[in-house]
Structure 1
Amino acid sequence: MPQPDSPDHQAQLPSAQPRQRHWLGLVVICSAIAAGAYGWYSGAIVIPDRFNPWAPLDVMAPPDFLTGYKLSRTRSDPVRCLNALAQTKMAYDRLPDRVTGPGCGFENAVLLRTAGVRLGAPLSLSCPMALSFFMWEQHALQPAAQQHFGQRVAAIDHLGSYACRNINRGERSAPNAPGASRSRHATANALDIAGFTLQNGKRITVLKDWRPADAATPPDAEARMLADAHQGACRLFNGVLGPDYNAVHRDHFHLETGGYALCR
């Protein structure tokens, strides 16, 4: 049997060195984090806004990995949302808060008169909805048009925004049936887009030019632009519904804020 001080006995004792190195590593990491946090708090370390999740949303900056968080945070605060909307240079008027019926009305909304594109009739939109619309037009729709046609979108054809009505579930759904769920349109948190007109006058419509993912024929430039605009909307709105969702949306994109994440 090995003696207490024999080499064989010492080899059987657990070494404390790996455990000491583990704790030393944790101390170093925690110290580095604490030093970095103090440096940021004291101003000694400056984090660029694009890497700072608490920096205000820059509506003109190209979207990155923090844009979704900053946009959501901005939309949730009425004052912060209006400040961001003022950066867009869109022409709009503040609308007074109002209730127009059970589950209908809006708060912190604007009447959008002109944007980077022609709109036709002005749009009543909540501030979060107007902000997401600008971000989509600026950072998704226009890049898609430039990529596939080498020119900008000059006008957007829409089917309206605010309307005191229920969710449209097809021919058998009554617009205002008692007990039915209200649409996001009922709170100015939705907008339906039917098509686009390019600078050269070319019109692209969801009804005519959309191609489902399983279509037998390859998508043309119009279909690819619509697909890119749809996917771009999914990054900047809470909910996006198109022709692949159901027949009710065969001729438009439904864009909304305030609901659950949905991209169909």
Structure 2
Amino acid sequence: MTTPARTYGSTHRSSFRLIIAAAILVLSLFAAGTARDAQAKQKAVPPAPDATSGAGKADAQAAGSPSQTAADSAKPAQPAPNTDANSSQNAGAKPGEQAKPEADSKASAEAAPKPPAWSAAEVADAKAHCAIVLKRIHAVALPHEPIKEGACGAPAPVELVSIGEKPQVALSPPAIVTCDLAEALTQWFENDVQPLARKHLKSEIVTIETMSSYSCRNAYGRKKTKLSEHGLANALDIGGFITATTKTAEVLEDWGKPQREILAEAEAAKRAADEAAAKTAGTGTAANPVQAALPLAVPLTAGAAAAELARSTIIEGVPASGSAKLVATSEAAVPNRLGGPVVKPGKKGALAQKAAQVALAASPAPDAEVQAFLHEAHKAACRIFGTTLGPEANADHRNHFHVDMAERKFTKICD
């Protein structure tokens, strides 16, 4: 028979066991929830690969090990390193060196000097001015991108295709120039060149043979001269003209011998005559010692006659039959058919230079009307352009006219 006291004790112990079991169940559920939260956070922020270990080590870490403890999984995720374009530079770094931060690379890129360029305001102003100029002249011009190469360039150059009207005068090839130069060329042609062509060539010009327009270089292509107007798209080199009847007027062939070359050759002929006279006088006195002691009362005429003959031959431009051609002591540079600076010749170039001089000397005299057209057209250009150079200026311009819009303080240059 069970007593009431024993029954009460048994019931009390059963209740206590139920309470303990319930507490253990609650703790287990709480621990399981905490573990799931940690795993979810770890999946949300995956560990980044080590910058110095490569892809193989990262894959091995991602696979994990079954022997990892719960404490390892509960560690906070490490911040991922920078994996942008700078990582390729970091990979090549020596051991122990730290890659430069991205901020430093951006700062250095911003600090690097940027290539010079025209401002938007400069380009806009130049284009607006150009539009006004092109409206008041007869010209076909295509817009060209702004050009900026150091000190060279122009904010709104144009590709000039033709100038004038009835007839249109084509530029072959088209030239890269400023609109102000295009306007000056148009005025020169309409007011001077075409009337001169009708007068001397009995036809109108339909083609300008251009040789050089925009070119970023110094004057004459030399290192120590100032910037050429070609470097500002403000100059044009013209090698010749073609009429509607296909008659040509070439600066090289039809200008005639420049005055400076005539004077140089005359001086060379005089010097040669003096040397010949001195040699003749020396031979005569050596044969007659008594004559050598006497003063020369009557000048020798042989040298003077030779000098007069040579001078006349050179001035008239017609070489004496069967006689050798005299060459000036200051050799002229070989005319460059492409315009612009003349390359200093080497050994082969010197031979080619002499051959070119002989060819020019052997060429027939230019047509008088064509020669007059070129000289008068050059003279008219001097009234319009800031600089006008031609064969009379120097050897660099022996084969073309150079015209530009350089501003002159006192007077225009005309050679």
Q: Provide TM-score, normalisation by structure 1.
A: 0.63
- Count of residues in Structure 1 that have an aligned counterpart in Structure 2: 180
Aligned 8 A contact 1:118 1:155 in 2: yes
CA deviation after TM superposition for structure 1 residue 85, in Å: 2.5
Matched letter for residue 183 of structure 1? S
Aligned equivalents of 2:152, 2:129: Cα separation in 1: 24
- The runs of 4+ residues in structure 1 deviating greater than 6 Å are none
Tell me the equivalent position of 2:146: 97
After the TM superposition, which of the residue ranges 109-118 and 184-193 deviates more from structure 2? 109-118
Structure richer in strand, relative to its length: 1
In structure 1, what is the Cα distance between the partners aligned to 2:199 and 2:184? Answer: 21
Match of 1:106 in 2: 154
- SS of 2:241 mapped into structure 1: strand
Spell out the pairing of 1:33-112 with structure 2 (5 A cutoff): 82-100=131-149, 102-112=150-160
Match of 1:88, as an amino acid?
I
* 2:317 is aligned with 1:166: no
Of 243, 254, 258, 2:406 maps to 258
1:249 correspondence with 2:397: yes
Aligned pair in 2 of structure 1 residues 193, 163: CA closer, same or farther (>3 Å)? same
CA distance in 2, matches of 1:82, 1:242: 31
Map of 2:109 onto structure 1? none
CA RMSD of aligned residues (A): 2.2
Which residue is 1:139 aligned to? Answer: 191
Partner Cα separation in structure 2 for residue 137 and residue 107 of structure 1: 26
Computing the radius of gyration from Cα coordinates, the structure with the larger value is 2
Q: Please give the per-residue CA displacement for 1:148-197, whole angstroms capped at 9, x wherever unaligned.
A: 1221011111102000111116xxx3xxx3x5411100000000000011
What are structure 2's unaligned runs of at least 5 residues?
1-124, 263-314, 318-365
What are the Cα deviations for residues 118-172 of structure 1, in whole angstroms up to 9, with x where unaligned?
A: 2122211011111101111111111110111221011111102000111116xxx
Kindly state the Cα deviation for residue 80 of structure 1 after the two structures are TM-superposed. 5.5
Gaps spanning 5+ residues in structure 1: where?
Answer: 1-76
Preserved CA contact (<8 Å) 1:107 1:126: no
Match in the other structure for 2:368: 220
Equivalent residue number for residue 177 of structure 2: 125
The 2-side partners of 1:242 and 1:80 are apart by 30
CA distance in 2, matches of 1:216, 1:143: 29
1:203 to 235, 244, 248: 248
Equivalent position of 1:54 in the other structure = none
Deviates more, 1:236-245 or 1:102-111: 102-111
**Residue identity matched to 2:174:** P
Separation in 2, partners of 1:194, 1:97: 27
Task: Work out which of the residue numbers 147, 151, 155 in structure 1 matches 2:203.
Answer: 151
Task: Give the match for residue 186 of structure 1.
Answer: 231
TM-fit CA distance, 1:81: 5.7
TM-score (norm 2): 0.41
1:238 lines up with 2:283 in the alignment: no
Moved more, 160-169 or 243-252: 160-169
Seen in structure 2, the aligned counterparts of structure 1 residues 219 and 204 have a Cα distance that, compared at 3 Å, is: closer
- Kindly indicate whether the alpha-carbon contact (under 8 Å) linking 2:215 and 2:231 is maintained by their aligned counterparts in 1: yes
Aligned partners of 1:206 and 1:252 also within 8 Å: yes
